């Protein structure tokens, strides 16, 4: 597991050295937290939905993880451009271990971002209703980070244009977020919107986080965990396949 640790450590060190990257990744989630949380809060409460910050915060935490996890794939393009990827691929190490190390590194970074967003949510007024459920919330954060870091790895392995990568990732982030139930309840939706949320893997991550941190989930924690776990496992395999086909 030495190569896995080395690649994980390299990813984390690169992240810690980049303050601009840390702040940039926080901008969008925190903007939505304050703009939506305090802007729609009174309306949500008058409609009988309760405290909107309590409802919104789990989705914002998931978004902070999602944004960082997806964009971790661009490091493959950077490494390919500057030659580090070639050095890694010619090493006598199975590419599955390389992908695992990179994925765990990207997931760890995404978890850091999620932890920062979680802290800001606490400052904004969010409160965990059952502290004993924090380990379950942490497990959902880990699965979200791993699953979408694997997605970033897939696109980083397939694409060669560095300018195309952020465009595609930005195109993916907002539909995944808005159709995850992060900003509105999942019950009573039109059929088309129900279908869109049901096939969105982030829906199960947000629902699991909300169930663990606040009140009962819409689908059940077991189903949320199973769907997200299977999704993460499949993406790791797919990511390994595309990474193994990279031509330098």
| Run of H or E residues at 165 | helix 164-178
201-215, 218-232, 234-248: segment of lowest average pLDDT: 234-248
3-state secondary structure of 182: coil
How confident is the model over 105-135, as pLDDT tens digits? 888 888 988 998 999 999 999 999 989 999 9
Mean pLDDT along residues 134-142: 94
Q: Which residues contact 126 (CB under 8 A, 6 or more apart)?
A: 53, 54, 57
Q: What are 3-62's pLDDT values in tens digits?
A: 666 666 766 766 666 655 666 667 788 888 888 888 888 888 887 778 899 999 999 999
Tokens standing for residue 30: 């925190």
Is this structure's pTM higher than 0.95? no
Find how far residue 183's CA is from the centre of its chain: 16
Residues 6+ apart with CB under 8 A from 146: 69, 103, 104, 107, 232, 236
pLDDT-based confidence at 2, cuts 50/70/90?
Answer: low
pLDDT tens digits along 143-181 = 999 999 999 999 988 888 888 888 888 888 889 999 999
Q: What share of the chain is helix, strand, coil (3-state, %, to 5)?
A: 80, 0, 20
- Which pLDDT score, from 0 to 100, does residue 73 have? 84
- Average pLDDT over the chain reads 85
Q: What is the DSSP string of 200-222?
A: -HHHHHHHHHHHHHTS--SS-HH
Whole-number pLDDT of residue 71? 86
Say what the pLDDT of residue 169 is: 87
Q: CA–CA separation, 119 vs 79, rounded Å? A: 32
pLDDT at 100: 83
Average pLDDT over residues 87-91: 70
Query: Quick count: other Cβ atoms within 10 Å of Cβ 213?
Result: 24
Residue (of 212, 197, 206, 236) closest to 65 by Cα position: 206
Tokens at 174, concatenated: 């907002």
Q: Above 60 in pLDDT, residue 203?
A: yes
């Amino acid at each position: 597991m030495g190569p896995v640790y080395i690649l994980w450590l390299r990813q984390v060190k690169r992240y810690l050295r980049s303050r601009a990257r840390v702040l940039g990744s926080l901008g969008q989630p925190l903007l939505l937290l304050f703009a939506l949380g305090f802007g729609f809060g009174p309306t949500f409460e008058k409609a009988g939905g309760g405290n909107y910050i309590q409802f919104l915060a789990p989705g914002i935490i998931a978004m902070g993880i999602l944004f960082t996890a997806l964009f971790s794939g661009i490091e493959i393009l950077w490494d390919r451009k500057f030659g580090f990827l070639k050095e890694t691929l010619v090493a006598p190490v199975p590419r599955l271990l390389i992908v695992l190390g990179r994925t765990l590194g990207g997931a760890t970074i995404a978890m850091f971002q999620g932890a920062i967003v979680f802290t800001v949510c606490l400052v904004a007024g969010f409160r965990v209703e059952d502290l004993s459920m924090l380990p379950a919330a942490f497990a959902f954060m880990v699965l979200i980070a791993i699953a979408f870091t694997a997605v970033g790895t897939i696109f980083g392995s397939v694409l060669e244009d560095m300018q195309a990568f952020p465009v595609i990732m930005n195109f993916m982030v907002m539909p995944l977020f808005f159709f995850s139930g992060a900003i509105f309840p999942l019950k009573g939706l039109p059929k088309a919107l129900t279908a869109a949320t049901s096939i969105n893997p982030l829906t199960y991550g947000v629902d699991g986080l909300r169930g663990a941190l606040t009140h009962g989930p819409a689908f059940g924690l077991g189903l949320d965990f199973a769907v997200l776990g299977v999704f993460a496992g499949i993406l790791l395999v797919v990511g390994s396949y595309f990474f193994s086909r990279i031509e330098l």
